[in-house]
Copies of this chain bind each other. A is one copy, B any other.
Amino acid sequence: IDATADLVCAYKPQFAHYAAYRAEDQLERTIEYIHKTHPGVPVILDAKRGDVGNTAERYAVEAFERYGADAVTVNPYLGSDSLEPFLKYADRGVVILCRTSNPGARDLQDRLIGSRKLYQVVAELAAQRWNSRGNCLLVVGATYPADLAEVRALVGDMPLLVPGVGAQRGDVAHVVRNGQTARGTGLIISSSRAILYASSGEDFASAARAATQQLRGEINSSRTRPA
């Protein structure tokens, strides 16, 4: 964290990789550490929650109060009332899965509903209904850059969280070109394994920093800057 905090726009710890090892306390302490030492860098808890009303409320408490996350990823399959308990935390971000970066994303997300694919319906619902407090973001994988352009066209300047560069081999320049807003902003491009495992030696921190600098350079050199 200390090796990269001046280079990144956010951290996105992945819940499963703590939960499988009974390491919830380490997740709590990691987020607390980021907030304390790098208060300008928000933390997105990647937990992909999705449940009915009273249970979704408990998940919102878990993410925002217990872990103190600034944002959390959620799954839209259960619809509006499963998202509202998160959305009502108006000062926190709710990052809704839209078009994910994995091969199986096709199974449901690409199904045609009239003239729209399911992920486009999710993008429209986010833009038109779920974003009344201005705290929605969407997940759109880097591995499908054409879909990123489709989503950008539907959601205005809504920020997009883009996993799938690095280990999943999405193309950064293509992602930026298709996903950025008119002002060259609006993207949170996430890289996990390519940075975390940049080196397994004692130079892991400097190797992680170098990998982060490289990705940051690639992102920024592809951005359209307003004149």
Interface residues of A (CB under 8 A from B): 14, 16-17, 19-20, 22, 24, 48-53, 55-56, 58-59, 61-62, 65-66, 75-83, 97, 100-109, 111-114, 118, 121-122, 125
Contact = CB atoms under 8 A, between A and B. Distances in A.
Contacts of A52: 100-102
A221 B125 CA distance: 43
A112 B113 contact: yes
Contacts of A59: 16, 19-20
A81 B62 contact: no
B77 A108 contact: yes
Interface of A, helix, strand, loop or mixed by DSSP: helix
Contact of A81 (B22, B61, B103, B121): B103
A78 B76 CA distance: 11
5 contacts: A17-B58, A77-B97, A78-B102, A81-B102, A108-B122
A66 B22 contact: yes
Given A79-B103, A112-B114, 20 more contacts: A16-B55, A17-B58, A19-B58, A20-B61, A22-B66, A48-B49, A50-B77, A78-B97, A78-B100, A78-B104, A78-B105, A79-B102, A79-B107, A81-B102, A81-B104, A82-B104, A107-B125, A108-B118, A111-B113, A111-B118
User: Could you say which of A65, A66, A79 has the most chain B C-beta atoms within 10 Å of its C-beta?
Assistant: A79
Contacts of A14: 55, 58
A20 B104 contact: no
A19 to B, nearest CB: 5
B19 A22 contact: no
A204 to B, nearest CB: 19
